[in-house]
Amino acid sequence: MLFASFDFLLFFAVVFAGYWALRGQFVLRALWVTAASYFFYMGGSKPVDGPLPTPWYFAGLLLFTTLTSYLAGLGIAAARERARSRGEPLGPEQRYGQGWLFLAVCVSLGLLGYFKYVGFLSAAVNQGAALAGSGPWLPASAPLLPVGISFYTFQAVGYVIDVYRGRSPAERNPLRFCLFLSFFPHLVAGPIVRASDFLPQLDRPLRLDRDELDQSLFRIARGLVKKVVFGDFIAASFVDRVFASPAEYGSLENLLALYGFTLQIYCDFSGYSDIAIGVARLLGIRFPENFDRPYQAVDVADFWRRWHMTLSSWLRDYVYYPLGGSRLGPGRTYLNLWLTLFLVGIWHGAGWTFVIYAVLQASAMVFNRYTRHDGVGFFGRIGRGLVSAGLVFGLSAAFGKLLVDLSSPWTLGGVGAAIAFVLAILPRSDAVGWLRPLHILITLHFSVLSRVFFRADTLDAAREILKKLVTWDGFGVRTGLFGNEALSELLRGSRLSWASPVADWCVLGLLVLGFALHYLPAAPFERAAQRLTRESPAVLVGVGFALLFGALGLLLAGPRANIYFAF
């Protein structure tokens, strides 16, 4: 079910009324929300950009993961109790129940790996076999990816690991644990909530005062505006069209489509997180924040501390630190960073485009770590800059030759080497304040350009977009501002001849406004918006939202699935 839909509005009105009616009955209230969560998972709207597959076994997979993790937690707790009864120490280095841990992690990650990666891996093996002159070695496989499997899998794995480490008690009430994994606000696209944060909140007295209500409704409204007004409209009217056939558009339009997708994916996912946080607060549950203005990041490390923060912190705690973190010397630190960021990138999808995206993010993180100036003098920075420039020169030239098919890739290699050298010797942005905008600008554009591989449907499409950018063909456009021949394509049947230029300028205006709001101070705008909604009559606010989303519903022909549903 989609948050930005009338179906969800009706669903949540019923859930909210039943939840607070059962305020004093925890068991009935938990059963009510758990049943509603499974209904939410299986039912709902059909998005305009394709159906959400919800075969019956999707709910079975969620229930199976829940049962496996719950039993593993009890098994680990029982092993620790047996050790305690024997008088054995239970410090952080003494851990018991390895078999249960192994079972739960293998089951959860095995299911995730099968549904998410088996199709890509089998295709890659068969491609290798074809290059070797052999027939297919593996049968073709392309299972449907269950919605939300990445998110509830990570929550289940994190819970079992925390119990194994002794950092969280095993939950003995199956209903409470089932509610934790299936709670509908975070079920299909996060934030990734930890059991140690969620379960204790179930024991707190329920209360919902006027301030809490205002804050919750404001988060929901902000999320809807991000998702529908910025994300969906920009995607439907411009971004999807360019990425569907990049060769038909000019270099400027391809570049603007990258900016558009960069804004779209942020508004889509952070908007979903805002709605999830607001909905959960209306039910008395606090979620962690998931975004902190990521395009204000000064480097790649700062970006991943601000983008999908619950995933970044999860991988830090359950992958980077267990690998050794930065405790085992520089070489091992670089390897651990690279592996962790590679997993961050490849988590987003199975395909060669996502492999390249993962390699770019991981390599940028290692570069960022290598060029830090802690205890390094001027000549040390020069040396690191030369090493970085040499490596980036070779990689950029190879990139230009193999991916973009440039006849003379050395120019691209030289540009990449020059940028790497300058970045390596520049003072850090936190040490020299006036350099902060430059660091932000460079980090933003690394994110924008790397999104080519995130968004492109195929490697050939990514190659075509890169070729358009590298072999710049000027500032011309096909027709109109972005090439919209008529808004009839957007309206799916309408024949309004005046609509094309209006749609063009609306998209451009939303792009400029979206990025401007991202960089302007947030607090004054949010306070003004909250004051306006609080002081305006409820009927007026309701009518305003109804008109806004009714108009957008006509333009978009219905709700669109969130991008991160596919992950």
E strand segments, 186-339: none
341-347-348-350 Cα dihedral, nearest 10 degrees: 120
Nearest to 72 by CA among 155, 175, 161, 154: 161
Pairwise CA distance, residues 506 & 230, whole Å: 10
Residue with tokens 């690991």: 161
Pairwise CA distance, residues 358 & 347, whole Å: 9
Pairwise CA distance, residues 243 & 483, whole Å: 13
At residue 441, φ and ψ (nearest 5 deg) are -60, -45
Number of H helices and E strands in the chain, helices first, is 25, 0
Is 373 an annotated catalytic residue?
no
- Tell me the CA distances in angstroms from 212 to 11, 12, 16, 281, 283, one per residue in order: 21, 17, 15, 8, 11
Q: Is 3 helix (H, G, I), strand (E, B) or coil?
A: coil
Pairwise CA distance, residues 333 & 338, whole Å: 8
Q: What does the block give as tokens for 290? A: 């998931």
DSSP 45: -
DSSP 427: P
Catalytic residue among 348, 439, 445, 518: 348
Pairwise CA distance, residues 8 & 12, whole Å: 6
Pairwise CA distance, residues 257 & 252, whole Å: 8
Q: At what angle do helices 26-42 and 174-182 cross, to 10 degrees?
A: 40
Length of the chain: 567
One-character DSSP codes across 128-182: HHHHTT---SS----PPPPTTHHHHHHHHHHHHHHHHHTSSPPP--HHHHHHHHH
Q: Answer yes or no: are the C-beta atoms of 233 and 423 closer than 8 Å.
A: no
Q: Which residues contact 402 (CB under 8 A, 6 or more apart)?
A: none
Q: Which residues contact 227 (CB under 8 A, 6 or more apart)?
A: 3, 4, 267, 268, 271, 272, 275, 562
Pairwise CA distance, residues 22 & 14, whole Å: 12
Q: Longest C-alpha distance within the chain, in Å?
A: 82
Q: Answer yes or no: are the C-beta atoms of 357 and 453 closer than 8 Å.
A: yes
Pairwise CA distance, residues 542 & 180, whole Å: 32
Alpha carbons within 13 A on the beta-carbon side of 367: 28
The residues annotated with a catalytic role in the active site are 348
